[in-house]
Structure 1
């Protein structure tokens, strides 16, 4: 009967272990090939019975390719950028400059050659292309300009917004001027035309991809661009920050995610805010993800047109 393998050190990764790290930890080659470890691929071991943790896999890949940098969709996810969620995630994207070995050739990753001009930052202990550079790298693989606008808006979130409060000091990840400057100076990259089309549609202070989609929907329907998360004051002196607003008409849109329904305190704040806004003459349209269906979009835009007619005629519901 074969003996049980010796336990791995307490600080060993829970799923994916690179052979380089194993060597630094003093583990022998035979230990990494024991019955409690499966071969995930050349240079990588997987604890038997586990599913690879994404971050541990990236850490192991960086250990295997220390001169490489995570880029494209992988960098975007590490930065928390808003990306389409359809379909399985691709293999990690790894880039490397020609002077450091050129395109990474690995069964574990999608390799790219990195420009010497690309800014590289350390984020969560990993080498990653800068947020702005990552955005330009997304211009080709993202399927629509709308998706590229959402990814760009996510870099421009406000410091005191929901994500800014969760990750203090992180936002904004970029400035709008930085994105314009990079697209003008980085003249050769795939999808540059899409990036040029997306730039005029980017705005600061958006809190979610759903807000971006709602804003683009109303603008494309012919409405004037709304203000995004403006801080406004009611007649009674109360301050509030609607998602999208036309203050001169006293019309606003509030996108309600699930937390507005499931969080009791949030629900109570919403009710109190809505009551005060009605008393102060505001027309408020509260919407959900249903507006992104064909029927839901039609009804929403119909209601918004009616709100504009009411406001412009001076009548209120």
Structure 2
């Protein structure tokens, strides 16, 4: 029998024939209960999916693991490996098992060059599962930034959901699609957008271009010249901070109010952000509908 490829997951029962009872000290690391990889093998999304196929060969990968394989650039830092396994109850730490059947036309086979091949939900079905299983804000963040998956599966998600009948979560998906704006360029930009909407500020648009400077504002109310800009990690270098300050000074001189938001400020001081933005809008003549 030929040796298995180096990066293929190995079951505990097979590993014991090689190493005896002391597994962790003999060049192997555990991914899931009962499944191991050799030390030094990168445990990326493909490896995780191959491991699931080793454990559940008739299942299909879905959720965030499938989205990452398809190229989604904004997955959570930590997420469970999800599989759909009809008629099979899965109880394994780090793995979420769903007992339903994906329509055959939405199951694809990916070949990585290693054994086993990966059975995976289609990109649009992957988004369908994320949209119905994740909490509202996290689901909308995922859908907003799903353009990083290529071929815009978000455009196929609504027809998919509308065509389903009797599938749990279908209405949730359609509701969340009504809140999606794929012009968002990061999950925190989406969180900022939703924060403004939830507080009744509905005049903001994403990625507004200011023609006289050829600048693009993350979130802007063009007629009132009020903007909210999200600064992520990429804005923390000295050069970028200097460039941002030049840009914002020019915009302010042209009559724009700029509110700079970070992940920390949005979490710790949202009321302060809201007060600043409302005051700026008020100075430009905006009257709150409830005022």
Report the TM-score, using the length of structure 2 for normalisation: 0.76
SS at match of 1:94: strand
1:222 paired residue among 200, 211, 217: 200
Contact 1:232 1:240 in 2 (8 A): yes
1:138 aligns with 2:130: yes
Aligned residue in 2 for 1:244: 219
Closer/same/farther in 2, CA of residues 152 and 81 from structure 1, 3 Å limit: farther
- How many equivalent pairs are there? 270
Aligned residue in 2 for 1:53: 43
Pairwise CA distance, 1:219: 1.0
SS at match of 1:222: coil
Aligned residue in 2 for 1:151: 142
Aligned residue in 2 for 1:18: 10
SS at match of 1:312: coil
SS at match of 1:189: coil
Report the TM-score, using the length of structure 1 for normalisation: 0.70
Distance 1:17 1:82 in 2: 26
1:74 aligns with 2:48: no
Closer/same/farther in 2, CA of residues 45 and 255 from structure 1, 3 Å limit: closer
Residue segments in structure 2 that go unaligned for 5+ positions in a row: 113-117, 287-291
Matches within 5 A, 1:1-317: 12-13=6-7, 17-18=9-10, 30-31=17-18, 36=26, 44-47=35-38, 53=43, 55=45, 56-63=47-54, 65-79=56-70, 80=72, 82=74, 89-90=79-80, 92-96=81-85, 103=88, 107=92, 109-112=95-98, 113-117=100-104, 119-121=106-108, 125=112, 126-143=118-135, 145-156=136-147, 170-171=149-150, 173-176=152-155, 178-234=156-212, 238-261=213-236, 263-293=237-267, 296-312=269-285
SS at match of 1:156: helix
Distance 1:245 1:271 in 2: 18
Distance 1:63 1:248 in 2: 57
CA shift digits 1:8-42 (9 cap, x unpaired): 99x612xx6336xx9xxxxx984365862669579
Aligned residue in 2 for 1:5: none
Q: Pairwise CA RMSD of aligned residues? A: 3.6
Pairwise CA distance, 1:297: 1.0
